[in-house]
Each structure stands twice: as structure tokens, then as C-alpha cells.
Amino acid sequence: MKIEQLYTNCLAQGAYYISHDGEAAIIDPLRETAPYLDMLKQNNDQLKYIFETHFHADFVSGHVDLANATGAEIVFGPNAQTTYKSYTAKDHEIFKVGGLSIEVLHTPGHTMESCTFLLKDESGKDLCIFTGDTLFIGDVGRPDLAIKSDLTQEDLAKLLYKSLREKIMPLADDVIVYPAHGAGSACGKNMSKETSDTLGNQKKTNYALSNISEEDFVKELTTGILPAPQYFAKNALLNKSGYQKYDEVLEKGSKGFDADTLEKLSQDANTIVLDVRKPEEFGQAHIPNSIFIGLDGQFAPWVGNVIKDLQTKIIVVCPEGRESEAVKRLSRVGYDNCIGYLKGGFESWIKAGKKTDHVNSISAEVFLKSQYQQSKTLDVRRPGEFDSAHLSLAENKPLDFINDWADDMDKNAAYSIHCAGGYRSMVSISILKAKGFKNLLDVLGGFGAIAKETEAQQHILQGSLSH
């Protein structure tokens, strides 16, 4: 018997590979199929089922391509309807993988089709549950992501409360919990960095499994939820209706352009030049009007947050050798229209004698001494981070919603911008520059560097004082 968690840090997402006696099942696979096909070959397994815990909103699953490649059956829980071939399971229906059994537990609440898969060994003993977004380690899934549901988030929270108590909490304490996500995902509020735990420990430590009333559970679950990222609904629909073949997406994005061709293509209003290098490299020099979102960060979620249209044509500027990685990670969140990359990397742009732009930066120390009182300070961290501690004169403008607030700002005003450490501020500045903002300063090291400066302490509001 083999149970393997395949965790992807960028998306804080867990897929699962289960096999026994030459048969295998995969739960919630990512977009690219090669890793799973390689595992099947290495283990000499035949893929029998692809189980989907729900219609994922934060990434595009690889279920359709994987089924086409292997002949495996795609299985959803009750209430799921797709436009491609799939099987809608009944509550408590049993599926066999070798000598193992997988029982479908319908657990609506996060979405109406959400289900948990209970794995039993050959003797029928409960081993583990694959909970999707129904139950996380330390948290549960948000109740506001159901596709075209007539139910309110309060209605869904009540359903989730019932699902947890009727389907999951009665299971034995030694059952292992394997969720779809960990800390960093926007599918919940306060997920643990741990990616598995015993159900018994979760009963002790997870508020959702405590002796909490339905009313208090609903209040806790629906209070303080940030609006869902704009790409969530779009990804959920792709998972429901199907998508372009990944191999075709990768082939299209693997075309190298010289500097002249890129310059010409970038004149199209529906084309974005996406620079995925390190923040400091982009700050030093970049192609004018290009957008920065670094690969060495939560690349895919930030792409989904700030690039509105999935059909936007994208040309990538990245270190040589990482072009396919960029295309792959774009496709994981449904951005399938990458049309190529700058051949030879940014150095080829320089060698071609093309114009460059840069980002003006300033140390935290100099910022406090010369700019803090002179320019408007924008803190682009999330509200929870801002509320815990921030500069008294700073205005919270989360990067997550930059497309909502940027057009209401004065493009000629002077702004000093910081996040926690420097990644998000560079993303923000790149977007604002492309929108025509003229006078922007990046505070190096972000709030972390600011907080270390003695002079800053008198300007920092902590905790409840920040409201």
C-alpha cells in the first residue's frame, strides 16, 4: 500500500497518490500530468480513479488531461455536474483500489458538491480522510465560493457545521487528516503550516471541531473573510467545464522572441510583458511598462489576483532555463495564453540597445528621515497584517485589490510603498507604473526593515491601537 502526499508550496496545495496491488487513485491532481504519469510508470500501477473533492477555485486541476491519458474515471461527489465525461458518486458509495476501499462522504458546506474520501485498508479499518477544503489543519474551508448557488454564505456555513459533526467527527481519533491546502491558501482564514494531522488532535485544537454552537460557528466562519480573488470563480468554471490541453498550452508558450519581435508584440493592448525575475533585478532595470511577479514567491496566486483576464496574452521575461516553469505555473491558475518568452533573457534586451526603466528605491532609515512626512505612504500588505502593526500615517492599500483602488489614486502624487519584505511592493509599483503613476518609491526591506529602525517606533501603531 502506498499513500503519498504531493505538496506544492506555491499554491499551498496537496494532491494525493494512493496505490495497492497494481491499481492507483489520484486525488485533486495539479494541471500538469507528467509527474503522475511518471509515478504510475515507476510503481507499475494502473490508474483507476481520479477523485475530485470539489470544483477547485484556486487552481485548475489536471483531472481531464489525466483521464484522457490513462482512461481513468473522474469521480466527483453528489451535486457535481460537468460538461465532460465524469461519474457523480452517491453518498457512502464505495470504490475499490486493489484491496483498499475508498468511501465517499458527502460533506457540503465549502461548496455543495464538496466531499471527503475515507480510505479503508483490506480489513475495513479506517485509515485516513482526504478532506479537500471541508477540513483543513486548524481551520475549515470558506463558505462563499460555491458556483452559482442560491444559498448564502451563512446557509453554507450551517451545512458545513452539520457535515463536520455528522460525517467527520464520529470517525476514530487515529484517522489521519489529509487536506487540500495549508497555510498560504486563500481558501481559508487561519490554516496551519502543517499539512496533515490526526483527527483526534484536530478535535482538540481546531475550533471548528470543538464544542461550539452552530450560531458561533457561523459567526466565526463568516467574519473577517477577505473578498475572494477575482480568478477563483473563473478557475472553478474551468474545472467544471474543461480546458485547453496542457501540452498545447506548454507548446504555445515555448516560443522564443528576440527583442525586436517582443517590442512589436507588446504594443498590443491585450498583451502583458510579465517579468518573473527577482524583485531587485526588476528594480534595477526592466522593460518599460512590464509587470513584475517573481517566480520565487507565490507566483501563481498573485498572477490570479492582479491579471484580470485569463485570455490576456502574456510574454514572459525570465532567467534562461525557467521558461517552461513559468508557463506551467501560469497554467495552474488558468492563464493558458502565454504566447512566448524573451529569448536570451533580459540580457538580450540590453544587448539589443532597447530602452529600460527602473524603480526608485530608498532604505527604511532614509525613508523615515526624509520621505515619511513628505510623501503619502501606501502599505500594500493584507488588512490583518496592517491591523497588527503599521505606520500611523500609512494607508492600507492591499495588493490583492490593486485593480479596484489604483484608478482612484492621483497619478501625479508622490507615494512611498512598502509591504512586509519587498516582493509585493515591487509587484504593486510595477502595476502602478504601467498605469501611468510617475512618482513612486520602494521602501527596501518593507515593514520588517522599518520596524527595526528606532525612529520608527514612535510612528508604529500596534494591535488594537491601529484601528
Here the CATH number for the domain that contains residue 114 is 3.60.15.10
pLDDT given at position 127: 98
Q: How high is the pLDDT of residue 412?
A: 94
> What was the pLDDT predicted at 456?
76
> What was the pLDDT predicted at 250?
96
Last residue of a domain, one of 332, 351, 370: 351
Same domain, yes or no, for 367 and 343?
Answer: no
What is the structure's pLDDT at 419? Answer: 97
Domain co-membership, 220 together with 259: no
Question: If we measure between CA atoms, which residue out of 320, 310, 374, 308 comes closest to residue 347?
Answer: 320
CB 88 within 8 A of CB 78: yes
The pLDDT of residue 271 = 97
Is 400 found in the same domain as 253?
Answer: no
Contacts of 106 (CB under 8 A, 6+ apart): 77, 78, 91, 114, 115, 163, 167
Cα 201 to Cα 275: distance, rounded to the nearest angstrom: 43
Shared domain check, 162 and 273 = no
The boundaries of the domain holding residue 16 are 2-233
Same domain, 208 and 61: yes
Same domain assignment for residues 75 and 149: yes
Considering the domain architecture, whether residues 268 and 177 belong to the same structural domain is answered as no
Dist. CA 81–CA 85, nearest whole Å: 10
Residue 125 is assigned to a structural domain of this protein: yes
Provide the CATH number for the domain around residue 304: 3.40.250.10
Q: What is the pLDDT of residue 459?
A: 86
Q: Which amino acid belongs to residue 237?
A: L
Q: Are 127 and 198 in contact (CB under 8 A)?
A: no
Examine residue 339 and state whether it is found in any structural domain, yes or no. yes
Q: Contact 395/375 with Cβ under 8 angstroms?
A: no
Claim: this prediction has a pTM higher than 0.75: yes
* Residue 35 · residue 6 · CB < 8 Å: yes
Closest to 380 (Cα-Cα) out of 329, 420, 352: 420
341 and 367 belong to one structural domain: no
Per residue in 137-187, pLDDT (tens digit) is 999 999 988 776 788 999 999 999 999 999 999 999 999 999 999 988 888
Strand order in the sheet with 439-443: 361-362, 439-443, 414-418, 376-379, 395-396
The C-alpha cell of 346 is what?
533580459
d(CA 419, CA 396): 10
341 shares a domain with 376: no
Asked whether residue 356 is assigned to any structural domain, the reply reads no
Is the residue at 239 inside a domain? no
pLDDT at 184: 84
User: What H or E segment, with its residue span, contains residue 438?
Assistant: none
Q: Are 137 and 179 in contact (CB under 8 A)?
A: yes
Residue type, position 169, single letter: M
The pLDDT score that the predictor gives to residue 47 is 98
Dist. CA 254–CA 361, nearest whole Å: 34
Check residue 189 and give its pLDDT. 79
Residues 193 and 325 in one domain: no
Q: Which of 200, 233, 266 is the last residue of a domain?
A: 233
**Res 464: pLDDT:** 40
- Mean pLDDT per block of 10 residues along the chain (467 residues) reads 94 96 98 97 98 97 98 97 97 98 97 97 97 96 83 94 98 98 85 94 96 96 90 96 96 97 96 97 98 95 95 96 96 97 97 97 93 91 94 95 95 96 97 96 96 83 54
Specify if 261 maps to a domain.
yes
Q: Are residues 283 and 367 in the same domain?
A: no
Q: pLDDT by residue (tens digit) across 69-124? A: 999 999 999 999 999 999 999 999 999 999 999 999 999 999 999 999 999 999 99
Residue 238 belongs to a domain: no
Residue 82's pLDDT is what?
A: 96
Work out how many domains the chain is built from and give that number: 3
Question: Can you give the three-state secondary structure of 18-60, one letter per residue?
Answer: EEECCEEEEECCCCCCHHHHHHHHHHCCEEEEEECCCCCCCCC
Which of 198, 233, 268 is the endpoint of a domain?
Answer: 233
Residues 315 and 427 in one domain: no
